Amino acid sequence: MSSLEPNSAGTPSRTCRLVTLGCKVNQYETQLVKEALARHGYREVNEHEIADLCFVNTCTVTANGESRSRQVVRQLAKSNPGTRTIVVGCGVTRSPESFRQLPSVHEVVTDRRELPDVLQRYGVVEFPRGIERFEGRKRAYVKVQDGCALRCTYCIIPQVRPHLISREPEDIEREVRQLIANGYQEIILTGVHIGHYGVDLRRRTAGAPRIRLWHLIDRLDKIAGHWRMRLSSIEAAEMTDEFISSVSSAEHLCPQFHPALQSGSNAVLSRMRRRYTKEKFIDIVDQLKEALPHPGFSTDVIVGFPGETDEEFAETLDVCQNVGFTKIHAFSFSAREGTPAATFPDRVHGHVINARIKALEDLELQLVQSFGENLKGSRIEVMVESIHPDHPDLVVGTDERYCPVILAGNASDLGQLRETLVIGVRQGMLWGQGAEVLQV
């Protein structure tokens, strides 16, 4: 009998290994489990140790993500003989039997809400309501909601995370305050679909006031101190007048947004079943540009959606140029079995997709260079993340608009917000004071 057998006698050998695949939400959820295990005597093993308990948070956004998740479970079983593995996440929810048959798997958790009960069998009698730190990172993610109610034709996520579950605002505030007290100066609000935040809260309590994302932003913005918050991806359709009014007056919110464009062609957007036209998308961005000083915008683009013509892709380039995105995450279309788009005809050839992605990458470099030039002479605040690999007196970080920055600094600046003057921009990287030594 394993020392981690539920209800086993004696003192268990409390060692564990945790692996996360996929998105920021998964990373947050794994951190929550990590803290739960640590509070109950578990120690996370180093690279060469064998863990008694393994935890894998899986992904299914693409077929490759799900396949990689199963590969990780097999590798853990091989490198940790005798281990017991708990698997959870979107990959498990979508395809539980494919994980159940893998070696070392003892718990297949298809519903995350059952995870506290599962962990009780391994000695975790109390599951935390929030995290206190985010190990290995200079900024902390805070999950504010779960679930997506949309039905985009290419996306599998609403099938595996269909339940809209918003956290109570007081719980989120308590967690953010704790993270700030523990030294985190940047908090990223994340979720499966954060624009849905609060939709379900009113249903729980009769007569409860309406709560939406902008109400949460207003509440958190009242927390005093030297810190900032950032939003993860949000749908353009959810950037309402109330939202824009809130973010324009929020002292602690970074003026940077990630509305997922996916395509700049109305015909493609219709086939994707998106909820906006390119004209509406541009109008919302223009409103934010009017409301905020030099806001930054990043986005996602699916390249090679079935039937995408050269003319339709050219429309995407035009919208990206118009908005001035400083980061374009370009993804090749991945046919996800079980979604409508997986059955669409007129697939785009791989070499065409590659050429289009290259065009987006070239445009991105031009746009970030132009954006950086407009910031020259202004003061920015940088979250310092690492020491420059070639210059120990320089550090690298990210400013409030999510632009990468090089500036003078040292190890004591890591994880801190530091102000600098923008003196230039090179290959998409802002130069702060001190970076001029790179010209030597």
Q: State the DSSP code for 83.
A: -
Residue 151 has pLDDT above 70, yes or no: yes
Positions of CATH 3.30.750.200 in the chain:
258-375
pLDDT band at 43 (very low <50, low <70, confident <90, very high): very high
Model pLDDT, residue 137: 87
Q: What is the DSSP string of 374-415?
A: HHTT-EEEEEEEEE-SS-TTEEEEEETTS-EEEEE--GGGTT
Fold assignment, 133-254: Transcription Regulator spoIIAA (3.30.750)
| CATH number 3.30.750.200 given to 258-375 | yes
CB 141 within 8 A of CB 123: no
Which of 184, 215, 196, 131 shows the shortest CA–CA distance to 158? Answer: 196
222 token code pair: 């009242």
Per-residue pLDDT tens over the stretch 105-123: 999 999 999 999 999 999 9
Average pLDDT, the chain: 94
Question: Which residues, 6 or more positions from 213, have their beta carbon under 8 angstroms from its beta carbon?
Answer: 144, 194, 195, 197, 198, 234, 238, 243
Model pLDDT, residue 12: 52
| For range 369-388, the mean pLDDT | 96
CB 109 within 8 A of CB 77: no
Which one is the CATH code of 379-439: 3.30.70.580, 3.30.830.10, 2.40.50.140, 2.40.30.10? 2.40.50.140
pLDDT band at 13 (very low <50, low <70, confident <90, very high): low
Q: Give Cα separations from 147 to 57, 157, 197, 262, 398 (angstroms).
A: 16, 8, 10, 20, 29
| For range 144-171, the mean pLDDT | 95
Q: By CB neighbour count within 10 A (0-12 exposed, 13-18 middle, 19+ buried), where does 383 fall?
A: buried
For the chain, give the percent of residues with pLDDT over 90: 90
Model pLDDT, residue 428: 86
Per-residue pLDDT tens over the stretch 51-93: 999 999 999 999 899 999 999 999 999 999 999 999 999 999 9
| For range 158-163, the mean pLDDT | 93
Positions of CATH 3.40.50.2300 in the chain:
15-120
**The whole model's pTM is what?**
0.92
| CATH number 3.40.640.10 given to 15-120 | no
Per-residue pLDDT tens over the stretch 293-317: 999 999 999 999 999 999 999 999 9
Positions of CATH 3.30.750.210 in the chain:
133-254
pLDDT band at 11 (very low <50, low <70, confident <90, very high): very low
Q: State the DSSP code for 8.
A: -
| For range 215-243, the mean pLDDT | 97
pLDDT band at 2 (very low <50, low <70, confident <90, very high): very low
Q: State the DSSP code for 195.
A: G
Number of Cβ within 10 Å of residue 317's Cβ equals: 16
Residue 205 has pLDDT above 80, yes or no: no
In the chain, the amino acid numbered 12 is P
Residue 322 has pLDDT above 70, yes or no: yes
CB 166 within 8 A of CB 117: no
